Amino acid sequence: MPELPEVETAANDLNGLLAGACFDGGVWTDWPKALGGLAPEALGRAIAGRGIARVFRRAKWIVVALSDGSALGLHLRMSGSVSVSSAASAPGPHVHVGLGLEDGRRLDFRDVRKFGRLLYLDPAAQAALFARYGPEPLAPDFTPEALAGRFAGRRGALKPLLLNQAVVAGLGNIYVDEALFRAGLHPLRSAARVSRREWTRLHAAIRRVLTDAIARKGTTLRDYRTGTGERGENQRHLAVYGREGEPCARCETPISRIEVGQRGTHFCLKCQK
DNA sequence: CATTACCTGCAA
DNA sequence: TTGCAGGTAATG
C-alpha cells in the first residue's frame, strides 16, 4: 500500500505520539517472521529502557530512532499500518507485533498480508540499509538536473526506472502513474529520449503529486491508515490510477490500463506521449 | 528482462 | 474460482 506520502504521514503521526516515550522491553507477536529472524525476546532486550528520540521516514521505511543510536525500521510493504494503543487492550485484527511502552501504551504493527517487517537496526545496519536507496525526491537538493542525472546512462522505460528505489526513493505504483500523467509522459517512454524540458516537467510533477498527497494524509484504497487510525483523502484526487475507462480530466479520452513490468499501469494515451 | 515467491481478502 | 492489490527480494 504505502508509498512515500503514506509512510511520511504515518511516521509524522508516530513522532507526535511517541517522541520522548520509552520502550519497556515487552514484545508480543503472533508472526515472528515480521521481525526478520530476530527472536522476540532478543528484540525486547535490545529496546528495553530505550527512549524514542524521534520518528521519521527514509525511502518507504518508518525509522524509530532510539536514544542509543539504534533504531527500529518498519516497512509496511503492501498492507501494513501502525498505531498506538493501550497495552491493556487486546491486539486488533491483523496486528502481528506489539511493543510495550513504559507509560502503559503499546506500538502496534498491523499487516493483513504479512509482507511487512519490523527490524531492529544498529547504526551499522541502518547505514547499510539506507545506502541502497536513491535520493529523496522532496529534498531541497533534488533538482531537475539531479533527477535527470539519476537516469543518465540508464536504458529502459520511465515507469520501471521510477519504481526502482535505487534510482529515486519513495515512489510506488500510484504516484508514478500520477506523476507521469501530470508530466504528459507515456510510462513506456524511453528514459534516453526525455528532453531537458521534459525532465523539468517530470521533476515538478513528482514533487507536486507527492506534496499534495502528503497534505491529504495519503491515499487509502484498502488497508492504509494514518498513525492516528484515519483514512487518507488523496484517493479522491487521483487522475489516472484505478480509473481505467473513466474520462481523462484533461481531454475526456477514456483512461487506458496496460501492464508494465507486471504492474497495472494507468495513463491517458492522448495526453501522455 | 521476466517469473516466482511471499500472504490475505475481496470483487468479478 | 480466478485474478488482482499500494512492495520487494530472489531466481532464471
pLDDT tens profile A33-72: 999 999 999 999 999 999 999 999 999 999 999 999 999 9
Nucleotide with minimal C1' distance from the CA of A174 is C6
> Strand pairing of A95-101 and A23-29?
antiparallel
Cβ neighbourhood burial of A146 (10 Å; 0-12, 13-18, 19+): middle
pLDDT at A1 > cutoff 70: no
Query: Separation of CA A103 and C1' B5 in angstroms?
Result: 40
- Using DSSP's 3-state secondary structure scheme, residue A23 falls into strand
Query: Separation of CA A240 and C1' B12 in angstroms?
Result: 21
Query: Which single residue is written with the C-alpha cell 525532465?
Result: A199
Q: What is the distance between the alpha carbons of residues A4 and A59, in angstroms, rounded to a whole number? A: 7
Give backbone dihedrals phi and psi of A128, rounded to 5 degrees, phi first. -65, -40
- Please check whether strand C approaches the CB of A31 to within 7 Å: no
pLDDT at A217 > cutoff 70: yes
* pTM for the predicted model, two decimal places: 0.98
Q: What is the distance between the alpha carbons of residues A264 and A115, in angstroms, rounded to a whole number? A: 20
Q: Which residues of A have a catalytic role annotated?
A: 2-3, 60, 263
CA nearest to A79, candidates A215, A218, A225: A225
pLDDT tens profile A141-190: 999 999 999 999 998 999 999 999 999 999 999 999 999 999 999 999 99
- Please check whether strand C approaches the CB of A1 to within 7 Å: yes
Q: How far is CA A172 from CA A2, A60, A234, A247, A264, in A?
A: 8, 9, 15, 23, 11
Cite residues whose beta carbon is less than 7 Å from strand B. A 33, 94, 112-115, 155-157, 160, 261-262
